A and B are shown apart, each in its own frame.
Chain A
Amino acid sequence: MSLLLNIAVDGVAYGMILFMIAVGLSVTMGLMRVVNLAHGGFAMIGGALAHWLLQDLGFGFWLAVPLAVAGTVALALPLERLIYRRIYDFGELQQVLATIGLTFLMIASVNLWQGSSLLSIPLPSALSQPVDLGFRTLPFHRIFVIALGLAVIIGLWWLIDRTRFGIKLRAAVDNRATASSIGIDTGKIYMASFGIGAGLAAIGGIFGAELLPIDAYYPLRYMVLFLIVVAIGGMGSIPGSFAAALGIGLTETAARYLVPDIATIAFFALVIALLALRPQGLMGRA
C-alpha cells in the first residue's frame, strides 16, 4: 500500500515537471508546426538567469524567479521574430537543422557566460523543508510543484477556452489561412503563444532543477525526454501533454521502484508499444 502511495506521489511530482517544460513544446509543434528542438534551451535560459540573479546578484528567490521567467520571454520574442517566423514554412528537416543550430548557440552562450558546471538554484527554506505525510516524508518542493503544475493546466484551459485570445488561437490552429482571412492577426497570436511556451519552459526549468539540474548541456541532455512527452501526448494537445507527462512520470517511477534493473529497457519498450498502437499519441490530431 505504501509502495503504491510512494509511486503515486513521486510519479505525479516528476510528471508535473515534465509537463511544465514540455507543454510549450507541444503547443509550438502543434500550432506552428515547427519541430522546435531548441525548446529545452528556454528552460535552461530560465534556469541560468535564475541562478545568475540569485547567486551573482543576490536577489531573493521570489523576486528572481519572475524576473528570470520574464527575461526568458524577453529573449524568446525577438527570436520568434528573427528566426522562427522565417522557418514556419520550411520543411521539417530544415526546421530540425535550424532549431538544432539555435540549440548549439544557446549551449555555447551559456557555457561562455556561466561556465560548464551545474548552475544551482537554491530553494528558499520554505520549499526545501521535509513534510511528514504519515507514511513517509516528502520535500515541500514536490508538493509545491504538483500545485504549480495543476495551476498551469487550469490557467491554460482558462486562457484557451475562456478568453478572446484563446478563440483566436484555436482558430489559428485549425486553419491558419481562414483565421487570417477573417481578420485575426496570426502573426501576433503565434508570437504570443511562443512567448507563453518559452515562459512555461523557464518555469519548468527553474522548479524542475531539483530533478533535472541546469547546466549548459541541458537542452541536449534532456531533448529526448521532452520529445517523448510530446510524441506520446500528441502534438498540439495540452491535455494530451498533461496525460503523457503524468503517465511517463508514473511509469518511470514505478519501474524504478519495482524493476530498477531493467527500468530503462522497460520504459522505452512501453514507449514503443504505446506509439506503435497509437501513432498519433494519446490525444493527437490526425
Chain B
Amino acid sequence: MGRFVPLILLAVAVGLYFLLPYNLAFLTRILIMVLLVLSLDLVLGYAGIATLGQAAMYGAGAYAAGLFAIHVWADPLAGLVAGAVAGAILALVSGLVILRAQGLTVIMLTIAVAQICAEIANRARDITGGADGLRGIRMDPVLGLFEFDFVGQVGYWYALIVVAVIFCFLMVLGRSSFGLSLRGIHESPARMGAIGVSVYWRRVAAYTIGGAIAGIAGALTAQITQLVSLETFAFVLSAEALIMLILGGTGRLYGAAIGTFVFMWAHHTAASNDPFNWLFVIGAMVLAVVFLLPKGLISMPAALTQIFKGGRDAGT
C-alpha cells in the first residue's frame, strides 16, 4: 500500500494550496521542513546514523545560498546547487570523523559540529551579519519566469516541486543496490562487513547525500525568507526534525512527510489557540504516539487493524 502514499501526499499538498490560500507561507515552511526531515530519514532511517546535528548542514546550505545570491548570482536554482554543495562538503568532512564512532558518541559529535558552525557564523559577522542575520538576499524569478510574490504562491510551488523531485530521487535511491546495502548495514553491520561491503564508506556516502539534501532545504529557506539567522544551526531545530521523523516513522520517506506535517500542524493550531501553553499539547501528543504507536504514525493503519481484529498486543 506504500506505493500510493506518495501520490496521495502529493494530492494533499496540491489540495492544500487551494484550501488554504492564506497560509501559503506556513505551508511552505512545512515543505522545507519535510525536506530536512527527509534528509534525516536517509541518514537515520536508511543508514542508521543517529544524529542531533542535521541543522549543521541545513545552516551551511542556507548561508551558502544566501551569500551566493548576494555576491554571485541571484538565480534560485543555482542557489539550490550552492546550498547542496555546501551541505555535502560539510557532511563529507565531518562525516569522515563522526562515522567512526557509534551510538551516543555519534549524537554528541553531530551536536558539536553544529555548535561550531553556529559559532563560526556568529564570529564571521562581517560576512554573515552575525546575530542580526544575513540580509540583502533578493532572488531573481524562478527560471527567469516566476517572480517570488507577496502571497507566497510561487514560493509554495517552487518548494513543492523541489520536495517532490528529492522525494522521487530518494525513492529511486532506496531501491538501488546502494539503498539496499544501506538497509543491510542498518540491520546488521557485521554481516554486511563480512560479505565485503565497506560499511564505513557507505555510511559516509549516505551522510554526504543527506547533507546535500539538508543543504537544499536550507537554501530554500534562505531564498524564501530572504534572511538567514544563526538559528538555522540551532540544536532545537535538529531535535525537532528528529522528533518529526520518529513521530511519523523512520525508513519509509512518507513517514517523514507525515510526521512533519502532523507535528507542525499540531504546533501551529495549538499555538494559534494558546500562544502561551501550546507546549502541553505537543508534549502530550509526542508521548501518546510513543505509547500507542511505537513505530510512528505510519503504523496507525496496522495498529487500527489489530484493534478491530481484537489483537491484544497492538503496541508491541
Using a CB–CB distance below 8 Å, which chain A residues touch chain B?
A: 29, 35, 83, 86-87, 90, 92-94, 96-98, 100-105, 107-109, 111-112, 220, 223-224, 227-228, 230-232, 235, 261-262, 264-265, 268-269, 271-272, 275-276, 279-281
Count of residues in B whose CB is under 8 Å from the partner chain: 42
> At the interface, yes or no: B310 with Cβ under 8 Å from chain A?
no
Q: Are A231 and B105 in contact (CB under 8 A)?
A: yes
| Contact between chains at A90 and B290 (CB < 8 Å) | yes
A residues in contact with B131, CB < 8 Å: none
Tell me whether B104 and A235 are in contact (CB under 8 A).
yes
Does B247 touch A at the CB level, under 8 Å? yes
Query: Residues of B at under 8 Å CB distance from A?
Result: 44, 50, 97, 100-105, 107-109, 111-113, 115-116, 119-120, 123, 235-236, 239, 242-243, 246-247, 250, 276-277, 279-280, 282-287, 289-291, 294
Contacts of B109 in A (CB 8 A): 272, 275-276
CA distance A101 to B123 in the complex (A): 34
A93-B50, A108-B277, A281-B105 known; A100 and B286 CB under 8 Å?
A: yes
5 A-B interface contacts by CB (under 8 A): A98-B290, A101-B290, A111-B276, A224-B235, A276-B100
A18 to B122 alpha-carbon distance, docked (Å): 26
CA–CA, A105 to B282, complex, Å? 8
The answer on a CB contact under 8 Å between B100 and A101 is no
B108 contact from A86, A103, A108, A227, Cβ within 8 A: A227
Interfacial chain A residues near B243, Cβ < 8 Å: 97, 100
- Majority SS of interface residues in chain A? helix
- A101: chain B residues within 8 A (beta carbon): 282-287, 290
CB within 8 Å for A279 and B280 given contacts A90-B290, A94-B290, A100-B243? no
The complex places the Cα of A87 from the Cα of B276 at a distance, in Å, of: 29
Q: Shortest Cβ distance from A159 into chain B, in angstroms?
A: 25
* B116: min CB distance to chain A, Å: 5
* Contact between A104 and B277, CB atoms less than 8 A apart: no
Kindly report which residue of chain A lies nearest to residue B122, judged by CB atoms. Answer: A264
B100, B119, B289, B290 — most chain A CB neighbours (10 Å): B290
- CB A28 to nearest CB in B, in angstroms, measures 13
- Contact status A92-B111, CB under 8 Å: no
A230 CA to B104 CA, complexed, in Å: 9
B270 to chain A, nearest CB (A): 11
Contact B101 A102 (CB under 8 A): no
Q: Known pairs A108-B283, A235-B104; list 15 more (Cβ under 8 Å).
A: A93-B50, A94-B246, A97-B246, A97-B247, A98-B287, A98-B290, A112-B280, A224-B111, A224-B115, A231-B104, A261-B123, A262-B123, A271-B108, A272-B116, A275-B105
Contact at A102–B111, with CB atoms within 8 Å?
Answer: no
Give A112 to B294 CA distance when docked, in angstroms.
Answer: 29
Task: Determine whether the beta carbon of B290 is less than 8 Å from that of A87.
Answer: yes
Residues from chain A with a CB closer than 8 A to the CB of B50 are 92-93
Taking a contact as CB atoms under 8 Å apart, the answer to whether B279 and A97 are in contact is no
Give every chain A residue within 8 A of B287 (Cβ-Cβ).
83, 98, 101-102, 105
List the 10 closest A-B pairs by CB distance, nearest first: A104-B283, A101-B286, A105-B283, A108-B279, A279-B101, A101-B287, A231-B108, A98-B290, A268-B112, A108-B280
A122 vs B31: C-alpha distance when bound (angstroms): 47
Interchain CB contact under 8 A, B104 and A264? no
Are A264 and B115 interface neighbours, CB within 8 A? yes
Docked complex Cα distance between A265 and B117 (Å): 9
Please tell me if the beta carbons of B286 and A98 are within 8 angstroms of each other in the complex.
yes
Nearest CB of chain A from residue B217's CB, rounded to whole Å: 21
- Enumerate chain A residues within 8 angstroms of B101, measured Cβ to Cβ: 275-276, 279
Chain B contacts of A275 at CB under 8 A? Answer: 101, 105, 108-109, 112
